[in-house]
Structure 1
Amino acid sequence: MAHDILYLGVDGGGTGCRARIETPDGAILGAGLAGPATTRLGIEASVTAIMTAATAALDEAGLTASDWPRVRAGIGLAGIGRKGAREALEATPLPFASVAFASDGLIACIGAHGGQDGGIVIVGTGSFGLARVTGREERVGGYGFPISDEGSGADLGLQAIRLALRAFDGRVDRTALLGDVLARFENDPAAAVAWMDRATATDYATFAPLVMRHADNGDPAGRRIVQGAAEQVDGLCRALFDRGAPRIALIGGLSSAIEPWLAPDVRRKLKPVDADAVAGAIWMAKQG
């Protein structure tokens, strides 16, 4: 059965771009993938990634470019809050019947709660909280590493390296975790300093699995670091509850690992996600 209107959802993140085409009743016709779509790479690169993923979804659906005029699109993009980014995107000619732009965080929040009020706290390489409450958007944290992104994978790595250097000095006990961290730098603080000069948040986050593993095994330094991170995630959740979010979903690569460490009052108010960020983008397309 042919549909006069189709919906395209795009989740354009910093590591990749996902697109999906659905019918009005939610049947998936096709899906596509592309490289990073964040506006940090430039508007042209962002639009190229969006159209690459969208075209792959169109192809899988057995459709052609002549079908674009009946497709209403919802597009969530990392970095859309950067100065001038949204205006540049909205000024770019796209082949769709309509386009609604939002941040990748907002479409994840919409998808997580099926369009209802609620919040998300993302705990991955970075961290931040975002909620939709009676039509308004509330955001906490996420100002960037190292000044923010508390409780994130990058922050876990930073804290572990800090403690490892103190252990090298004899200022704190050298636990198994701190020994393993120092071993990555061949037990040489100068190597850690040279690494630091070039390291990104992603590089720091590579230490997070090591920290979590040692913490779960009872390592005192690991437990101290993860308990501190969990308190920061608790704080993000509570800030969103205070702003009216009735429920929160924890998402991101570290979310399942950190959840058992959270405070009981926070864990009681967590819920699983209803659907993914692409579903949130499609919901947004339907509102436009």
Structure 2
Amino acid sequence: MNTNFFLLGLDGGGTGSRVVMADSGGLVLAHAVGGPSGLGLGIGPAWQAITASCREAFAMAGVAPEWSRCVLGCGLAGANNPVWLAQFRQQAPDFAGLVVESDAYTTLLGAHGGGPGVIVALGTGSVAAAGQMGAWRMASGYGFPSGDEASGAWLGLRAIVHAQQALDGRVADDSLARALLTQVGAQDRDSLIAWLCNANQTAYAALAPIVFAHQAHPFAAQLLSDAGAEIAKMVTALDASSELPVALCGGLAAPLHAFVPQPLRQRLCVPLGDSAQGALQLARQEADRLSREATR
């Protein structure tokens, strides 16, 4: 077996994919981005996005793609669904090696370099994880609309209630209500109901920036305080002893930082890397295993 591998770490979600490519020694050669590859969007489309992203990384590195020399580590949204995962593996190209884990796990690996720690990933959805390479567990991440506390969709789902009440006269018609209605293109009760009937997780998450922009408003302030409390509950569930470093990750990590209650805020650290880099750690580990087997 040729053990001069190319290592590929992939972070795949519902809005896009990110790939980091390295040589067998771990030297990073390229970064690339591509279309969504979360397994909930379909196995075929996921592989199309992944292979396109990997080809883009090879092109940026100036190397012709050769799947038989590639070890791919994936952190994928939806990888915890066993049916989707089995179908994903069945349709895989002929890679030298393939490792697939939840994007929560690869985010944890990337944030703490494979060492012990806690992460709370905050974006359109949310999930928390704690542990280290080989041993970890999750909290939250049950999905929209019942779970994913403190996520963009969670904030938006609750924020639109203020607009509903403003239309009815249950609360004042103020700047927050008007901004929310403008975002969804609604002018009255009927047009808001039409939007609500079609809104998905992504549509609700698009309302989160309005909440942050109006954070001095009592309704928004309480909502953001509640989000901070939910983050604290996730961390406590995973690390009741308060001994592990905690990293907030994802697009809402910075906006929500100020709403994390003390003393948890004092424990927050800057992530060492992201989910794609965590996936690259999985690829490196698998490549090492394949190399050992080849020399036996």
In the superposition, the TM-score normalised over structure 1's length comes to 0.89
Larger deviation, residues 71-80 vs 268-277: 71-80
Q: Is 1:255 the counterpart of 2:279 in the alignment? A: no
2:85 matched to which residue of 1? 86
Q: Is the 8 A contact 1:109 1:118 kept in 2?
A: yes
Aligned CA distance change for structure 1 residues 244 and 83 (closer, same or farther; 3 Å): farther
Range with greater deviation from structure 2 (84-93 or 182-191): 182-191
Match of 2:258, SS state, is: helix
AA in 2 matched with 1:255: A
Structure 1 partner of 2:143: 144
Alignment of 1:225-236 (within 5 A): 225-236=223-234
1:46 aligned residue: 46
1:219 corresponds in structure 2 to 217
Q: Match of 1:115, as an amino acid? A: G
The one-letter code sitting in structure 2 at the alignment partner of 1:68 is W
Gap change, CA 1:182 and 1:47, over 3 Å in 2: closer
Change (3 A) 1:168 1:134: same
Give the Cα–Cα distance (whole angstroms) in 2 for the partners of residues 93 and 160 of structure 1. Answer: 41
Equivalent residue runs for 1:192-211 within 5 Å: 192-211=192-211
SS for the counterpart of 1:142 is: coil
Correspondence 1:109 to 2:108: yes
What is the aligned length?
Answer: 283
Paired with 1:205 and 1:10, the residues of 2 have a C-alpha distance of: 24
Alpha-carbon distance in structure 2 between the residues aligned to 1:134 and 1:284:
9
| Alpha carbons of structure 1 residues 98 and 270: separation in structure 2 relative to 1, 3 Å | same
Is 1:164 paired with 2:163? yes
Instruction: State the shift of 1:134 in Å.
Output: 7.2
Q: After TM superposition, where is structure 1 displaced by more than 6 Å over at least 4 residues in a row?
A: none
The share of aligned pairs that are identical, in percent, is 34
State how far apart, in whole Å, the 2-side matches of 1:175 and 1:264 are.
31
Gap change, CA 1:244 and 1:260, over 3 Å in 2: closer
Alignment partner for residue 270 of structure 2, among 269, 272, 278?
Answer: 272
Cα RMSD after superposing both structures: 2.2
Structure 2 Cα separation of the partners of residues 233 and 30 of structure 1: 34
Distance 2:253 2:82 in 1: 30
Contact 2:4–2:24 (8 Å) recurs in 1? no
Contact map agreement 1:23 1:29 (CA 8 A) in 2: yes
Deviations 1:106-162 (A, max 9, x none): 111111110112221111111221222573221111212221122221122222221
Distance 1:197 1:172 in 2: 23
Name 1:27's counterpart in structure 2. 27
Give the C-alpha shift of residue 4 in structure 1: 2.4
- Structure 2 gap segments, 5+ residues each: 287-296
Secondary structure, aligned partner of 1:181: helix
Q: Residue 202 of structure 1 aligns to which amino acid in structure 2?
A: T
Q: Per the alignment, in what secondary structure is the counterpart of residue 84 of structure 1?
A: helix
Structure 2 counterpart of 1:286, which letter? Answer: R
Q: 1:170 to 1:146 in 2, by over 3 A?
A: same
8 Å CA contact 2:5–2:23 kept in 1: the answer is yes
8 Å Cα contact 1:175-1:221 kept in structure 2: no
Aligned residue for 1:94, secondary structure, equals coil
Counterpart position of 2:293 = none
TM-superposed deviation, 1:46: 1.5
Give 1:277 shift.
Answer: 1.5
Structure 1 counterpart of 2:220, one-letter code: G
